[in-house]
Each structure stands twice: as C-alpha cells, then as structure tokens.
Amino acid sequence: MAPLPPATNVVGLDVGITSFVVTSDGQAVDNPKHLYRYHYQLRKVQRSVSRKKKGGNNRRKAALKLARLHLKVRNTRKDFHHKLTTQFIRENQAIVVERLQVQHMVKNHKLAKSISDAGWYQFVQMLEYKSRWYGREFQKVVPNYTSQDCWVCGWRNTDLQLSDREWTCANGHTLDRDVNAAINIRNKGVGHTLSAWESDTDGVQYNGNGRVAQESHSL
C-alpha cells in the first residue's frame, strides 16, 4: 500500500459504550449497537430453532437462518469499523489508543454483551494494520487514570464515578469525561509517535494541542 500524504493531526481515541469512540478533538461517534438492532429478529429465530425437532430438516433450516443473521450482524459491524478506521487514518498522522484488556472487561456481566457487540478489539486491530499500510504512526498506551486526571493541570479526581459524564477539577477546569480521557491518551503517546515520524515530515512542529503546524524557513 502506498503511504498517504502527511496529515496535520495527532489524535487520541477513547472507546466506550454510549459513544463508540470519542476523540481528543472532541468528536463523538455514536455506538451503532449492531446486536441490539437485530435483537428481536435473533430472539425470534432462536426460539424457532428451539421449537423444531432435533435432527429434522426444519430445525436445520431454522439453524441456517440463525447463522446467516449472526453473519449479517458481524458483517455490519465490520463494515462500520472499516469505514471509521479509514476516516481516522486519512485525517490523522498519528493515532494513540488505550491498551485494552477486553478479556477482563467482559467479566462485568452487566456490560459484557455491550462490550462484545462494540467490537473494540477488531476496531483497534484495523487501525493498527492500516497505519502500517498507509504510513501512519500508531501507539497503544496504558490508560491508567486517563478519565480521572485533568488534562489541563493534572489534578486527579479519585471520587470520579462511572455515571459522572462531566466534572470540575479542584482548579476550576470543567471537563467532559470522555474528551478528557481521549486527550490524556493522546498526550501519553505523543512523545513516542512524534519522534517516530517527525524527522520524515519536513518543516512541521507539534503545537501541544494535537496538531502540527508548518514552519516557515528563511533562506
């Protein structure tokens, strides 16, 4: 794959359930909830399979219909991931994401289905290999305290609850929880990502806000 022309942005991505992903630029992408959209169809066909006699042709037909419906859900999710990752790759020179521990997250039974449906692991995999294909930088960082630490001053909110979508730090900075996390994710990875590609990008300089600005050179 031929590398894309250099872009002018370094972005941090915070994945979630309410919003599928929030960027350090403040963009929130809605979670399509693919499995939920097909929930009633899946349940109806599953019941049909259960009512059919085991070993019979009718049961096999119903099971095939169920398998095709599950495949449709997977393909719809995959298409969403492909389109979104391509957008991020085109718009950004460097992408920083949190190092996900999905296997631990799904132990929370209340969130397990939503986490599995979101398909974060597949999304991150696509970002990683497309970054290699198109000459972008990609970095995973440990997400410790990214939601709790104020990105402006570093004050840590040890009382932050999952239900707190917006909060104000002790120094008066009002923060959107997810945007704050995305900015902290970006800032954790920015030193690594910039050092990897800045020497190959003539005349650009990071300005501290996730963007690189063209420098003017006098002869």
Q: What is residue 144's three-state secondary structure?
A: coil
Rounded percentage of the chain residues whose pLDDT exceeds 70? 83
User: Does the pLDDT of residue 216 top 50, yes or no?
Assistant: no
Active site (annotated) includes residue 91: no
Active site (annotated) includes residue 202: no
DSSP state of 93: S
Q: Is residue 31 part of a domain?
A: yes
Q: Exposed/middle/buried for 216, CB within 10 Å: 0-12, 13-18, 19+? A: exposed
Domain that holds residue 22: 10-214
| Number of domains forming the structure of the chain | 1
Q: Is residue 2 part of a domain?
A: no
The catalytic position among 25, 117, 137, 178 is 178
Mean pLDDT estimate for the chain: 85
pLDDT on residue 11? 97
Mean pLDDT of the region 192-206: 45
Q: How many angstroms separate the CA atoms of 68 and 59, rounded? A: 14
Q: Is residue 1 part of a domain?
A: no
pLDDT on residue 100? 84
The catalytic position among 98, 117, 137, 149 is 98
> Is the Cβ–Cβ distance between 170 and 164 less than 8 Å?
no
* 149: β partners: 156
The catalytic position among 14, 25, 137, 149 is 14
Higher-pLDDT residue of 193 and 124 is: 124
User: Does the pLDDT of residue 124 top 90, yes or no?
Assistant: yes
Residue showing tokens 């599950």: 70
18-63 residue pLDDT tens = 999 999 999 999 999 998 888 889 999 889 888 888 888 888 899 9
Q: Is residue 35 part of a domain?
A: yes
> Is the Cβ–Cβ distance between 185 and 141 less than 8 Å?
yes
Active site (annotated) includes residue 79: no
